[in-house]
Amino acid sequence: MSISHAPPDSSATDISDISGADVAATTHSPPDLVPLVPASSRRTRIPRWLRRATGPVLLLILWQLLSATGVLTADVLASPGRIAQVASDLIADGSLTSAMRTSLQRVAAGLALGTAVGTGLALVSGLFRVGEDLVDAPVQMLRTVPFVGLIPLFIIWFGIGEAPKVAIITLGVTFPLYLNVYAGIRGVDAQLIEAGESLGLSRWGLVRHVVLPGALPGALTGLRYSLGIAWLALVFAEQVNADSGIGFLMVQARDFLRTDVIVVCLIVYAFLGLLADFIVRSLERLLLQWRPTFTGR
Pairwise CA distance, residues 219 & 182, whole Å: 8
Amino acid at 217: P
Q: What is the pLDDT of residue 114?
A: 93
Mean pLDDT of the chain: 81
> H or E segment at 2?
none
Buried b vs exposed e over 116-126: b needs ≥16 C-beta within 10 Å? ebbbebbbbbb
Q: What is the pLDDT of residue 29?
A: 57
Amino acid at 22: D
Pairwise CA distance, residues 167 & 151, whole Å: 9
Pairwise CA distance, residues 214 & 291, whole Å: 10
Cα 128 to chain centroid, rounded: 31
Q: Which of 190, 192, 183 is nearest to 217 (CA)?
A: 183
Pairwise CA distance, residues 154 & 241, whole Å: 13
Q: What is the pLDDT of residue 69?
A: 87
Which whole-number Å values give the CA distances from 273 to 151, 202, 220, 225, 268, in the listed order? 23, 41, 16, 11, 8
Q: What is the pLDDT of residue 113?
A: 94
Q: What is the pLDDT of residue 119?
A: 92
Q: What is the pLDDT of residue 45?
A: 74
Residue 2, pLDDT above cutoff 60:
no
Query: DSSP per residue over 251-296, as a string?
Result: HHHHHTT-HHHHHHHHHHHHHHHHHHHHHHHHHHHHHTTTS-----
Let me know: does 238 contact 100? Beta carbons within 8 Å: no
Question: pLDDT tens across 37-83, in order?
Answer: 555 555 567 777 777 778 888 888 998 898 888 888 877 888 888 88
Tell me which of 113 and 12 has the higher pLDDT. 113
Question: pLDDT tens across 181-208, in order?
Answer: 999 888 888 888 888 888 887 878 888 8
Burial of 193 (0-12, 13-18, 19+ CB in 10 A): middle
Tell me which of 213 and 292 has the higher pLDDT. 213
Q: Is 159 left (phi over 0), alpha (psi -120 to 50) or beta?
A: left
| Predicted confidence band of residue 28 (pLDDT cuts 50, 70, 90) | low
Residue 18, pLDDT above cutoff 50:
no
> H or E segment at 175?
helix 162-186
Q: Name the CA dihedral angle for 261, 267, 270, 274, rounded to a multiple of 10 degrees.
A: -140
Section 127-138 average pLDDT = 88
Residue 143, pLDDT above cutoff 90:
no
Q: Name the CA dihedral angle for 149, 154, 157, 159, rounded to a multiple of 10 degrees.
A: -130
Amino acid at 64: Q
Section 211-229 average pLDDT = 88
Which whole-number Å values give the CA distances from 169 to 22, 39, 218, in the listed order? 83, 49, 21
Question: pLDDT tens across 152-166, in order?
Answer: 888 888 888 888 889
Let me know: does 165 contact 174? Beta carbons within 8 Å: no
Tell me which of 46 and 142 has the higher pLDDT. 142
Q: Which residues contact 218 (CB under 8 A, 6 or more apart)?
A: 180, 181, 183, 184, 185, 187
238 phi/psi in degrees, rounded to 5:
-80, 0
**Percentage of the chain surpassing pLDDT 70?**
82
